[in-house]
Amino acid sequence: MGLIALACMVLAPSASAQVSFDDFETVNGDGVPVYSFGFSGAGAGSGFGPTPGFDGNTALNIGINPGAGGGFAGVGSGVGGPGGPAAFTPVDASGQEYFTFYFRPTSVRATDTPLLMEIYLQEDPDGDGFDDAATGDGEDQFRANYRVTVPAGAPEWQLVAIPLASFTDFNPTDGRPVGDNDGFDFAAVGNVVFAFGNLQANPDANPPQDFALSFDDIAFAGEAMFSTSIGETPSTFTTAPSAFPNPASGAVTVTFDLAEASDVTVDVVDLLGRTVATLAKGPQAAGEVRLGVQTAAFAPGLYIVRVQTETGVASTRLTVTR
């Protein structure tokens, strides 16, 4: 991945640079939204329905009552919809680098977080609209995890971008151990499942659903999805910032060279511009600067390492995997 110097840190999705899986805007002949998502493994008290999306369009809201769900709840969307037969065609996500979706924790209490969300991608190369992994026909599913946190203030939509490299083989059908990666057919993604396990009932919950989450515009994307305002590296820098290793799942070293002494602030920010870590703040001498950061607590996805000096800003991308 090349180094990128940014005049200002602006990240925005580009619709032309992604492959949509479900935008929740399909309607039937009567104009009623048609959702391919359905619950699996959850009992009474859980449900889903339309909600306004991040840009005013239709999104999906799900409500989950852990007490009724028996400790597990999940929602899934597939090429066959809930129960099939095939009503959609598998999505060709070959060549893409990220699994993306807009997400809002609409009514998750801070005391219930961090909430672990498991995300499953399932193959459907034969296009029959069913998850056949359990039948032993070779169709596979890969899984990645995402930690749901609740920011201060009213919940807002956030763009989640999980590198496809973070997904690992979860359900092989040929007797190999879970996690023994034999590859995933991204040319035929048939199903996406969001699951929550080890849920604890809350006897004081009112209304019954303990928490609710909203999803919108589930898609696959490449690096081009994230547009940036790119400018010349400020004269303060002899060498622009870089991060190694990258992608990373543990310790990362950020390096850059200053042509002159300067007050410097180095932040790691997410796609919404929120600071997730500050690596340095204060005077730095001229020459090479090396800073360490542990990414184990970061959610998988794309981040920007932003270096602010007295004369300008330079930044580089950092991809966190699991």
The pLDDT tens digits of the residues spanning 26-53 come to 666 666 556 556 655 444 446 677 788 8
Domain range for 249 is: 237-320
User: Do 90 and 190 contact (CB within 8 A), yes or no?
Assistant: yes
The span from the first CA to the last CA of the chain, in angstroms, equals: 18
Q: Note whether 101 and 204 are same-domain residues.
A: yes
> Is residue 14, in this structure, part of any structural domain at all?
no
Q: How far apart are CA 312 and CA 234, in angstroms?
A: 6
User: Do 313 and 9 contact (CB within 8 A), yes or no?
Assistant: yes
Q: Note whether 87 and 211 are same-domain residues.
A: yes
Q: Note whether 118 and 56 are same-domain residues.
A: yes
> Of 159, 187, 221, which marks where a domain is finished?
221
Per the rule left: phi > 0, alpha: psi between -120 and 50, beta: everything else, 71 is left
CATH code, 148: 2.60.120.260
Backbone angles phi, psi at 291, to 5 degrees: -130, 140
Q: What is the pLDDT of residue 76?
A: 72
User: Do 66 and 72 contact (CB within 8 A), yes or no?
Assistant: no
Beta bridge partners of 171: none
CATH code, 305: 2.60.40.1930
pLDDT tens, per residue, the chain with 322 residues: 222 222 222 334 443 457 888 888 766 666 655 655 665 544 444 667 778 887 778 888 887 776 665 566 667 766 544 444 445 678 899 989 889 888 888 877 666 666 788 898 988 887 776 655 555 556 788 889 888 877 666 677 878 888 888 888 886 555 566 656 677 889 989 888 888 766 655 555 554 446 788 888 888 988 755 543 334 677 888 888 889 988 888 899 999 999 999 999 999 987 666 788 999 999 999 999 999 999 888 877 788 888 999 888 888 888 887 6
Q: Note whether 165 and 287 are same-domain residues.
A: no
CA nearest to 24, candidates 67, 66, 72, 62: 62
Q: What is the pLDDT of residue 253?
A: 94
Q: From residue 289, give the alpha-carbon distance in Å to each of 55, 241, 242, 266, 267.
A: 41, 9, 11, 11, 14
pTM, entire model: 0.69
Q: What is the pLDDT of residue 16?
A: 41
Q: How far apart are CA 249 and CA 322, in angstroms?
A: 6
Q: What is the pLDDT of residue 264?
A: 94
Q: Note whether 244 and 106 are same-domain residues.
A: no
> Is residue 271, in this structure, part of any structural domain at all?
yes
Instruction: Indicate the number of domains in the chain.
Output: 2
**Hey, what are 153's tokens?**
């203030």
Q: Note whether 213 and 256 are same-domain residues.
A: no
User: Do 72 and 79 contact (CB within 8 A), yes or no?
Assistant: no
